[in-house]
Amino acid sequence: MGSLKFFLLAVFSFFTIHLFAFSDSTLHVSLQKTIPGNFSNFYTDNLGNIFLITDANQVKKYSDKGDSVAVFNDVRRYGNIYSMDVTNPLKLVVYYKDFATIIILDRFLNIRNTIDLRKAGITQSKAVAQSYDNNLWVFDELESKIKKIDELGKVVFESTDFRLLFDDAVNPGKIIDYNRSLYLYDMKFGWYLFDYYGAFQKKLPYTNWKDVQVSDNILTGFENNNINILAFNNVVADVIKVNPGIDVTGIIKLQYSSNRIYALYKNKLDIYLMK
């Protein structure tokens, strides 16, 4: 089982090993910490910080040790938080879908900037993400295009209309900008991969994954109580299914980073350490 541990660690520490020596395995973990509370979502950054969204729409930041370090309380202005992107620990993106508004926070959860997407002509989108060049990616559902906007809300790039590119009615719920590539995920149709410049490269038709992540040419997601792991380079291999080794009854969200697995339930966040 130690081999599986090192395999999963490699997913997030950029080492190359024999990825397909494991299948239908169970991960061994130990409970490290529980954060009690009524939370609707959470995110983790590459420093191990945890950002929990409460039912009252606060953002609570916890350190990698699980200690509370900051709170964002400006909860009334734009309705419910739809998503966050915390890939840059110094620039946190908070997206309010109902108001088509993005709030940029600093690491202390103070507001740095507010972007009204409607001023850029974008009124409907589920997917927002930070870009490699400090701008923002947005998928405009009405125009069916990927758009990049700057911090003033100005559109600086837009892709070809997806309705001209694909037979599928693609409407991604997730955008991930990682390592000179752009990944869009649509639960109904799968992964769509683009280059830095928004040019389409590849489709991977793996559907119905939740809580998707990308790291070093490895795509992961949660499906049917298993962690799906898909590695690809020039050739796509089969999906590896790994049992997370925890009680998934009533689980809201599962995510892992470094050697930890985070499991969100209705009244708590459990943090597990991989053995």
Same domain, 29 and 88: no
Residue pair 224/7 in contact (Cβ under 8 Å)? The answer is: no
Using a pLDDT cut of 90, give the percent of the chain over it.
71
Q: What share of the chain is helix, strand, coil (3-state, %, to 5)?
A: 10, 50, 40
The verdict on pTM exceeding 0.85 is yes
Confidence at 234, pLDDT banded by 50, 70, 90 = low
Is there a single domain that holds both residue 154 and residue 46? Answer: yes
Return the pLDDT at 78.
86
Tell me: do 4 and 111 sit in the same domain: no
What pLDDT does residue 22 have? 42
Total number of residues shown for the chain: 275
Is the model's pLDDT at 12 over the cut of 50? no
Encode pLDDT of 100-159 as tens digits.
Answer: 999 999 999 999 999 999 999 999 999 999 999 999 999 999 999 999 999 999 999 999
d(CA 229, CA 25): 12
**How far apart are alpha carbons 144 and 140 in whole angstroms?**
5
Q: Mean pLDDT across the stretch 167-173?
A: 95
17 and 108 assigned to the same domain: no
Question: Do 115 and 144 belong to one domain?
Answer: yes
- Number of domains observed in the structure of the chain: 2
Is there a single domain that holds both residue 13 and residue 88?
Answer: no
* Separation CA 91–CA 85 (nearest Å): 9
Cα separation, 151 vs 134, in Å, equals 8
User: Does 189 lie in the same domain as 89?
Assistant: yes
**Stronger pLDDT, 31 or 18, i.e. the higher one:** 31
| Residue 198 and residue 81 in one domain | yes
Beta strands, E only, 28-154 = 29-36, 39-44, 50-54, 59-62, 68-72, 83-88, 91-96, 101-105, 111-116, 128-130, 136-140, 145-149
Q: Looking at residue 13, which CATH number applies to its domain?
A: 2.20.25
- Among 172, 188, 207, identify where a domain stops: 207
> Would the pLDDT of 232 be above 90?
no
Asked whether the beta carbons of 129 and 173 are under 8 A apart, the reply is no
* CATH code, domain with 46: 2.120.10.30
Chain segment 236-258, per-residue pLDDT in tens: 567 889 999 999 999 999 998 77
Determine the structural domain holding residue 22 and report its residue range: 1-35+215-275
* Residues 15-39, mean pLDDT to the nearest whole number: 71
Is a pLDDT exceeding 50 seen at residue 13? no
Q: What angle do CA 36, 13, 265 make, to 5 degrees?
A: 20
pLDDT of res. 34: 96
DSSP state of 238: P
**91 and 42 assigned to the same domain:** yes
